[in-house]
Amino acid sequence: MLKFTANLSMLFTEVDLINRFKAAKQSGFDAVEIQFPFSLSAETLKKTLEEQQLKLILFNVDAGDLLNGGEGLACVPEKTDQFRQAVAQSLKYAALLKPEAINILPGRCFNKTRKQAYLKTFKENLSFAVEAFSSLGIKTVFEAINSHDMPGFIIHNGQQMLNVLKQLNHPDLLMQYDIYHMHMMGDKPDEFITRHADKIGHIQFADCPGRGQPGTGQINFERLFSVIERSTYTGWTGAEYKPVGTTSESLKWF
């Protein structure tokens, strides 16, 4: 049986972040994930999770200016110190919250002549993060994002993620596989998940196009959820979509 998490950065935005935990619990979720939890203290988050009897499955290392149109932190050679500070911040949160995995967003390169340098920096930073989070018994995942929504993103398909895994070859490093982003890139998520489930540490989903809930786009989620359930994947599956209508109205799939 699939285990679903609610992404509180995307769902239940009708209320502020601290109240989304209760909304998720009332809607039937036993676990949540947050893109960037740092607007609340780790102590506040821990108390809220305990009050609502929720497990925090995943959060992201801070990505700097990435969501505001910038290149982010993880791949930019000149931002290595900032990235390591972001990892240190995540370690403090992880020590209290004990997520199953922490996600790293590779970032973008706007100067194509520097792409190889950016890829090299990303892999070095990723290796640093894996070792740091492994010390707490936490897996590290990294994510490909489609280059239509984020032009210049240096890791934007499944094969590129597989290449990084092979090059770094660390048992605590896995992929975060986002069905929406990979469908946007023309990947076939059902085939990829079936073949590479053992290399995936977390799955997220939204329909495509539009990034709404299942049933608003072209993806057959009844079939896809069945594929995930039959695969060897044992992790959580995160609802990370932009609800069309209210969040509660968007949960018919659930």
Amino acid at 59: F
Q: Give the whole-angstrom CA distance, residue 1 versus residue 19.
A: 28
Ramachandran region, residue 107 (left: φ > 0; alpha: ψ -120 to 50; beta: rest): left
Kindly report the average pLDDT of the chain as a whole number.
Answer: 98
CATH architecture for the domain at 4-253 = Alpha-Beta Barrel (3.20)
Amino acid at 58: L
Q: Which of 33, 124, 240, 249 is catalytic?
A: 240
What confidence tens digit (pLDDT) does each residue in 53-101 have?
Answer: 999 999 999 999 999 999 999 999 999 999 999 999 999 999 999 999 9
What confidence tens digit (pLDDT) does each residue in 165-222 have?
Answer: 999 999 999 999 999 999 999 999 999 999 999 999 999 999 999 999 999 999 999 9
Please give the structure tokens belonging to residue 48.
């809220």
Angle between helices 115-134 and 80-97 (to 10 degrees): 30
pLDDT at 124: 98
Q: Are 49 and 73 in contact (CB under 8 A)?
A: no
78 catalytic residue (yes or no): no
What confidence tens digit (pLDDT) does each residue in 87-97 have?
Answer: 999 999 999 99
Q: Give the whole-angstrom CA distance, residue 58 versus residue 254.
A: 20
Q: Give the whole-angstrom CA distance, residue 133 versus residue 38.
A: 17
Show me where the domains of the chain are located: 4-253
Q: Is 79 exposed, middle or buried (0-12, 13-18, 19+ CB in 10 A)?
A: buried
Q: Which of 33, 71, 100, 143 is catalytic?
A: 143
143 catalytic residue (yes or no): yes
11, 196, 99, 179 alpha-carbon torsion, rounded to 10°: -10
Please give the backbone phi and psi of residue 208, each rounded to the nearest 5 degrees, phi first: -140, 135
